[in-house]
Structure 1
Amino acid sequence: MTEEKKKAKVAEALTTDGEFMLEPVPLDARRSTRSQFMVWIGFGYAVTGLIVGGNLAGYGGTGGMGPMMAFWAIALGMGALYVMTSFLGVAAQKTGYNLALLSKFSYGSKGVVIPLFIMSLLTLGWFASIAGMVGEVWGKWIGNPSGITVINPENFGMEGMNPISLEEFLACAIFGAVFTYTAVRGMSAIEKVATVFSPLILIVAVIAGVVFIAQAGGVGPFLNEAGKLGGMGLGDGITIVVGSWIAGAIMGVDMFRFNKSVKAVWLCAAACFVMTNPILNFVGYIGVVVNGEFNYVFWMLGAGIVLAILGVVVWTTALWTTDNSELYCNSMYTGPALDVFGVKAQRKTIVIVIGVLGTILGAAAFYQLFFADFINALGAIAPPLAAPILADFFVVGKEKKYDHKALEKQPAVRWAGVISFAVGAVLGFVFQYVTALPYGLPSGLFALLVSFVLYIIIYKVTPDAKTDAKVVAELGK
């Protein structure tokens, strides 16, 4: 393809959508490192960071763990996510492929439906949960002047959970619509939102943590109080941390394909897993130890009108950037999955449909009723999803194998990918919910390693290796 034709192709894609749902992102359309870095700062600011920190401190009856063990759970969990996300990002950056295109080489042209379907469900669940989180804060601030209760969680066996008021229901619906609109606009709109609000988000979170420590009487008294916690093992703590972000780690593929360099991939991943989310983990941990509540915005709501407004604004805008990414990436999974079955759908149409569905679920208390089980299952079952991609790209695959011309030459099913993921997912579930691993090892990460090794072994004894050799030979002609 000549340089003129390449430029024409880029111009055409940018005119119609510019998100390259079914084709690689060319170098001409890559985004600046600064803008992508700010997206990852905003992406990393998710309320799950606070919830996870709260769980490590015993919120929800988990028993919790002392400050040093909590530190290691956060460090090891976030470290594993950082490494996994970065390597997936390197594969995406070098090829320009989104998850759908990248997965064809390890799952097959039709087998790719498996990771895409799972990620579609996960991102839908996250979008609904985050919309519910925003609605909850607005409902707490506004109160219930209408006196109308839309949903009472106690009717579903959720004792001690506040009812969903009409005000909270409407707030969730309104902001779900706003988040959907900006996700329709694509990556450029997500970057604009993140660039404006990300610095403020970090500042407020750090200040909240400092205030809580001061309320405890200083670092010494805080550590003494936190040292009384116990009951949760390190492996369970790591699994909770990984579960809170495994979907985001895999979603990173669809954002890293816009990066201009491998260095930018490692930097952007650090913005989320080193700079942002660990801070929220610690703030959530501190909040529960000091006040019994992981969400510092609830404290701000009772600390005067100025802090209340600041808290609600920061909370809403922070989760705005996260929910944008969830919905944007969902379209990158749903669209190609439909395409496998011959159904052509525009990205913007998918975003609107999924956004409406997610908003309905969020307003219907998906977050309040199902979120805790949702992230625990994620931490155990989802990590093996990435193993076939990593093993294929970095171990058994060759650079020529990922040539753009090879995209349409992939077999329908790559059995190495399908089988290794299935085994890993089952093991993750068993070790999380049936029988614990020895030495308190984290179930999800263990399952990922098993899937990784299993892929390499199965690849050599199935037709996959011969198929790749044939494809590479044809490309070399």
Structure 2
Amino acid sequence: MLEPVPPEARRGTFGLAMVWVGFGFVVTGLIVGGQLAGQGGAAGMPFGLAMSTIATGELILFALTVLLGIPAMRTGFNLALLSRFSFGSKGFAVPMVVMALLTLGWFASILGMIADIWGSLLGNPTGITVIDPASFGRPDVAPVSLEVVLSCIAFGALFTWTAYRGIAAIEKVAIPVAPFVLIVALGVGAGMLSDNGGWGTMVETASTQSGLGFGSGVTIVVGAWIAGAIMGADIMRYAKNVGAVLIGAGACFILTNPVLNVVGYIGAVTTGDSNFVNWMYDRGILLAIIGVIVWTTSLWTTNNSELYSNSLYTGPALNAFGVRVKRTKIVLIVGVIGTILGSLAFYQLFFVDFITVLGAAFVPLVGPILADYYLVRRNEFTAESYRRQPAVRWPGVISFLVGATLGLLFQYVWPLPFGFSSGIAALLITVVLHVVLHYALRGRTSGPVEDVTGEPVTRTAH
């Protein structure tokens, strides 16, 4: 986590692509499709507009993943090490704390998603309710049973163990699971269509949907997965070439995620529910079991990636201030904390607010990296210079803080026209501001130049 991935440790393109297929399979893809279809009586859009919205949003995510993945591949750096170039050897801890909180929250949330599915399958034979959301002002959320809590604990332990084993273990989970997941998702989509009058009937029913514009729809698609696009640097550092970066990003944002969006849309239009596992429940115990297994194994890779990446943010940030902790120990500690949060109904109670706030605030953190690599300081991204960075690079820190603040303001105070994504708008502003500040402040830095281990070097940056 504190050094670039060497050439001999790079992974094969197929294995990397399967990691991305599994990484892209997460419930938000189905939920997004349901939102575009107007699930629950909300504003929706007709089929043709929904498909163009999905295509546009996924292409934006694909482009951002590739733009960040290429420097990660060429240098072997994870997101934390790339951030040292733009924020400084201590300044990069600011965005890393945001990323650590984000991935911790996602780990706990995905555990909650899996536990809910198992709770539906197992029921509540013990009759014990551990948490009643109504007591927290959320009567719309089902009570959290003992079975759901125990499912959280069991799968939290399993996911923590495989993330502890590293990228090779994540690959071993992803390669056999990913193709099966895609086949089941496509098969279920076809089944829902067949049960409800076929393709023509679905398109005709969908034509009655209205009220959700193209810009707002793209914001929904991009906003739901922008975190994964940025975390992609931690996976892409194992790629051997640009082709592997393109294939990996395409496996997620041209294959897996769009398939889930479309299946979620079809499910919401034909059955009123974007979650295909619920459709499988109604078709007998065999399909119900298959649905639960597919759901669990597909989210396994996603949650492994969340936990693995968290260690790559937490470890270097602690190391910058003299606290040395091994990656494996961080995985264990964060896995335990995330499992406890998941068991305490973090997903059921806080997921929407959590994703909205951090999604708006954290996206701009890659702005300085993209601006430096592609516009102003590309030649400095080398395996030698990353070890010697000043404590703080002010253009990066200032532009990120301004961008994060604007992201929150755009989300909650100053809504953008045409429903434009607050996070993407803040990212674009951050890139421009960083370039301006780079030349206005002449790339101003402060503090002594430090080695990656935190030891000072002889010269001082000004």
TM-score (norm 2): 0.94
What SS does the aligned partner of 1:341 have? Answer: coil
Amino acid corresponding to residue 439 of structure 2 in structure 1: K
Hey, what does 1:120 align to over in structure 2?
100
2:307 to 327, 345, 358: 327
Deviation at 1:216, TM superposition (A): 2.4
User: Which residue pairs with 1:67 in the alignment?
Assistant: 47
Q: Supply the AA of the counterpart residue of 1:134.
A: I
Residue-by-residue CA offset, 1:387-425 (whole Å, 9 max, x unaligned)? 1111110110132x1122212321211111112122222
C-alpha deviation, 1:374, in angstroms: 2.5
Select between 379-388 and 26-35 the one with higher mean Cα deviation. 379-388
1:435 to 391, 395, 414: 414
Counterpart in 1 of 2:404? 425
8 A contact 1:246–1:382 mirrored in 2 = no
Q: 3-state SS of the aligned residue for 1:183? A: helix
* Structure 1: gaps of 5 or more residues: 1-20
- Note the C-alpha offset of 1:77: 1.5
Query: Do the aligned residues in 1 keep the contact of 2:99 with 2:313 (CA within 8 Å)?
Result: yes
Matched, 1:363 2:343: yes
Counterpart Cα distance in 2 of 1:385 and 1:126? 18
Mean CA deviation greater in 367-376 or 256-265: 367-376
Q: Counterparts in 2 of 1:85-234, with a 5 A limit?
A: 85-234=65-214
CA distance in 1, matches of 2:327, 2:41: 42
Q: CA deviation at 1:60?
A: 5.2
Residue 385 (structure 2) pairs with residue 406 (structure 1): yes
Q: 1:285 deviation in Å?
A: 1.4
- Residue of structure 2 aligned with 1:415, choices 364, 378, 394: 394
Larger deviation: 433-442 or 292-301? 433-442
Give aligned pairs, total. Answer: 449
Name the stretch that deviates more: 155-164 or 94-103. 155-164
Is residue 243–residue 377 contact of structure 1 (8 Å, CA) maintained in 2? no
Q: What SS does structure 1 have at the residue aligned with 2:130?
A: strand
Deviation at 1:160, TM superposition (A): 2.3
Q: CA deviation at 1:23?
A: 0.5
Cα RMSD of the aligned pairs, angstroms, is 1.8
1:419-450 deviations in Å (ceiling 9; x for gaps): 21222222222222222222332222122111
In 2, Cα distance between the equivalents of 1:319 and 1:181? 15
Which residue in the other structure is 1:354 paired with?
334
Shift of 1:40: 0.6
How has the CA–CA distance of structure 1 residues 379 and 236 changed in structure 2, closer, same or farther, with 3 Å as cutoff? farther
In structure 1, the residue matched to 2:454 is: none
Q: Give the residue type in structure 2 aligned to 1:438.
A: P
Q: Hey, what's the Cα distance between the residues in 1 that align with 2:269 and 2:132?
A: 28
The more displaced of 125-134 and 210-219 is 210-219
- 1:104 and 1:350 mapped to 2: Cα distance? 20
**2:349 aligned partner, one-letter code:** L
* 2:86 counterpart letter in structure 1: S
Give, as a single letter, the amino acid of the residue that structure 2 aligns with 1:449: L
Aligned identity (percent) is 55
| Contact kept in structure 2, 1:38 and 1:198, CA below 8 Å | yes
Give the Cα separation in 1 of the matches to 2:340 and 2:377: 42
8 Å contact kept, 2:44–2:210? yes
Letter paired with 1:31: R
Give 2:342's aligned amino acid. G
**Which residue of structure 2 aligns with residue 298 of structure 1?**
278
Q: Distance in 2 between matches of 1:61 and 1:113?
A: 43
Q: Identify if the C-alpha distance between structure 1 residues 282 and 180 changes in structure 2 by more than 3 Å, giving closer, same or farther.
A: same
Q: Deviations over 1:33-76 (max 9, x none)?
A: 11111111111111111111112222355422222332233222
Deviation (angstroms), 1:378: 4.1
Please give the per-residue CA displacement for 1:105-137, whole angstroms capped at 9, x wherever unaligned: 111111100121111001001100100111000
Give the direction of change, closer, same or farther, for the CA distance of 1:419–1:404 in structure 2 (3 Å limit).
Answer: same
In 2, are the aligned partners of 1:65 and 1:232 still within 8 Å (CA)? yes
Counterpart check, 1:444 vs 2:423: yes
- Note if contact 1:29-1:258 (Cα within 8 Å) is conserved in structure 2: yes
Query: Is the 2:394–2:444 contact (alpha carbons within 8 Å) kept by the matching residues of 1?
Result: no
* Aligned position for 1:12: none
State the one-letter code of the partner of 1:353. Answer: I
**TM-score, structure 1 length as denominator?**
0.91
SS of the residue 2:391 aligns to? coil
8 Å CA contact 1:46–1:322 kept in 2: the answer is: yes
Task: Indicate the SS of the match to 2:39.
Answer: coil
1:84 to 64, 68, 89: 64
Please, which runs of 5 or more residues in structure 2 have no aligned partner? 451-458
Partner of 2:238: 258
C-alpha distance in 2 between matches for 1:111 and 1:60: 44
